[in-house]
Amino acid sequence: MPPKKDDSKGKPALIGITAPKDEDFPSWYQQVLTKGDMLEYYDVSGCYIMKPGSYSVWEKIQAWFDGNIKELGVQNAYFPMFVSSRVLEKEKDHVEGFAPEVAWVTKAGTTDLEEPIAIRPTSETVMYPYYAKWIRSHRDLPLKLNQWNSVVRWEFKHPQPFLRTREFLWQEGHTAFLTREEAEKEVLQILDLYARVYSELLAVPVIKGRKTEKEKFAGGFFTTTTEGYIPATGRGIQGATSHCLGQNFSKMFGITVEDPKNDGEKINIWQNSWGLSTRSIGVMVMVHGDDKGLVMPPRVAQTQVVVIPCGLTVKTTEEDKANIMAGVTEIAEVLKKAGVRVIADVRDNYSPGWKFSDWELKGVPLRLEFGPMDFKKKQTLAVRRANGKKESIALGDVAEAVPKLLEDIQAEMYAKAKASFDSHVIRVTEWDDFVPALNNKNLVQIPWCGVTECEDEIKDKSARQDGEEVDERAPSMGAKSLCIPFDQPEGIIKGETKCASCGRDAVEWCMFGRSY
């Protein structure tokens, strides 16, 4: 790309995104985040600074989700970030697989601690001893707590902003019920909220489903998930998970109540846990961003509209100039009153073109241009970030038209992402079609037998076979099962339809894909 011309005398030319999304996706992603003012790199590997541009998105997600779980009777609390080794060991069985990722504090200054203390990778072991203390009778149920916090998982795989970071923000909900029915009902209610965070706030479509036995949370009973799709890489990505833990943890931690029906009998309670993290922001950026930078969905955009004075030249009279500037300020004020998050960009040391590129880089969903002709015609020109569509709006209509336009943009962004996702979910019934479909950047749904060994085999068979090292970043990695979609396609006939991989009887459609 040729270097940009300096069009603002004395000011540096704005350096836009230099890596095309479809040619060098990793560099594109890094540039979009840093140049779009979302993120700054940090000097501890795997850790990043979330700047206001991204943190404000998290605040939108928080406000929406927090309001909705409170409707369900969930309360927020805060538990410590430190876990003693004794307590962490308590759920050895399921922690075992995760142990290499647990970070430990071993020193204070130069003094060795008597006992190393772990930093929470998740809070089951932190919270459940107190659930055992607090839940004494069925009258103490349901107990529904959530916390907004950060957790630390010291991963050694290649870190990626938002998607794989050593510390990340999330919410973790931990609920306890008397009965299985209540627990199972809530698992799906929460999953639905997660799907809505993606589709309604981030304009990112997801598929809801259940994890296979191999991919579920090992400590739980069953795991439900929202699965997303990154078109640029053709990989699936888990958006959030809602687990029914069954009675596994209540047995481990001795969380029992007396059976209200069966006098005196101790019964173990039923538990759920569920989490949504800042990974969601990375997914949003990857799905919507383009070669000019970020493209923010209006509902989560920190700035929804920017108003820019245009068409001012050396020949413009002072009076005209004053009219334009007053008009720009007025439009912004009207919009602010209408509840729109708006900025009037009245900086006089940058050209309109420079400002356009600057706000495009940051992904502001709508730009309003206001120049001498607009002043005469009592209108402003609206330009959509996502698709460049332009339309004039009469000044008198701005307060009403712009919020509508923003909702329209939100819907357009979702529809576009949905069409892309839908066209990349391929159903195949023959193994020969599986890897080619995967190689064409698709997720693949197959009639499947439900056997774990078959799942292992699919992963092996779909990885690159030519002996070249399989990098987890390269598209040659094997396919994992992503979920068994709740929304099952038709076509599986019991005892007749065969698993597309192993030929055993197929039980249901399962979605596979290379994934993050």
Pick the stretch among 228-236, 272-280, 318-326, 443-451 that binds ligand 87F (CB under 6 A).
Answer: 272-280
* CB of 143 vs ligand 87F, minimal distance in Å: 15
Number of H helices, E strands in the chain: 14, 23
Pick the stretch among 118-126, 192-200, 319-327, 468-476 that binds ligand 87F (CB under 6 A).
Answer: 118-126
Pick the stretch among 97-105, 138-146, 205-213, 473-481 that binds ligand 87F (CB under 6 A).
Answer: 97-105
Pick the stretch among 20-28, 271-279, 307-315, 337-345 that binds ligand 87F (CB under 6 A).
Answer: 271-279
Sequence-distant (≥ 6) Cβ neighbours of residue 222 within 8 angstroms: 187, 210, 211, 216, 243, 244, 246
- Lay out the site mask for ligand 87F across 199-228 (x = CB under 6 A, - = otherwise): ------------------x-----------
Contact 394, 374 (CB under 8 A): no
Q: 């006939």: which residue's tokens?
A: 493
Pick the stretch among 96-104, 294-302, 440-448, 485-493 that binds ligand 87F (CB under 6 A).
Answer: 96-104
DSSP 332-353: HHHHHHTT--EEE---TTS-HH
Look up residue 212 and give its two tokens: 């296979």
Residue with smaller CB distance to ligand 87F, 282 or 309? 282
Pick the stretch among 94-102, 322-330, 465-473, 491-499 that binds ligand 87F (CB under 6 A).
Answer: 94-102
DSSP 220-254: SSEEEEEEEEETTTTEEEEEEEEEEEETHHHHHTT
* CB of 252 vs ligand 87F, minimal distance in Å: 13
* CB of 411 vs ligand 87F, minimal distance in Å: 30
Among positions 122-151, residues that touch ligand 87F (CB under 6 A) are: 122, 124
Residue with smaller CB distance to ligand 87F, 224 or 233? 224
Query: For the chain, how far is it from start to end, CA to CA, in angstroms?
Result: 30
CB burial readout 465-493, b (16+ within 10 A) else e? eeeeeeeeeeebbbbbbbbbbeeeeeebe
Among positions 275-314, residues that touch ligand 87F (CB under 6 A) are: 275
Task: Establish if 121 lies at the interface with ligand 87F (CB under 6 A).
Answer: yes
Task: Establish if 102 lies at the interface with ligand 87F (CB under 6 A).
Answer: yes
Among 58, 128, 168, 274, binds ligand 87F (CB under 6 A): 274
Alpha carbon distance 385, 70 (integer Å): 35
Contact 369, 383 (CB under 8 A): yes
Task: Establish if 172 lies at the interface with ligand 87F (CB under 6 A).
Answer: yes
Task: Establish if 272 lies at the interface with ligand 87F (CB under 6 A).
Answer: no
Residue with smaller CB distance to ligand 87F, 102 or 163? 102
Length reported for the chain: 516
* CB of 221 vs ligand 87F, minimal distance in Å: 12
Angle between helices 180-196 and 52-71 (to 10 degrees): 150
CB burial readout 169-197, b (16+ within 10 A) else e? bbbbbbbbbbeeebbbebbebbbebbbbb
Task: Establish if 101 lies at the interface with ligand 87F (CB under 6 A).
Answer: yes
- Listed in order, strand segments (DSSP E) in 80-200 are 82-84, 104-108, 111-119, 143-152, 167-177
* CB of 95 vs ligand 87F, minimal distance in Å: 5
Pick the stretch among 119-127, 254-262, 399-407, 505-513 that binds ligand 87F (CB under 6 A).
Answer: 119-127
Among 82, 98, 134, 486, binds ligand 87F (CB under 6 A): 98
Number of residues that bind ligand 87F (CB under 6 A): 15
CA dist 343 → 54, 338, 351, 359 (Å): 17, 13, 16, 10
Residue with smaller CB distance to ligand 87F, 220 or 234? 220
> What 3-state DSSP class applies to 117?
strand
Among 35, 144, 153, 211, binds ligand 87F (CB under 6 A): 153
Task: Return the bridge partners of 73, or none.
Answer: none
* CB of 217 vs ligand 87F, minimal distance in Å: 5
The residues binding ligand 87F (CB under 6 A) are 95, 98, 101-102, 121-122, 124, 153, 172, 217, 241, 243, 273-275
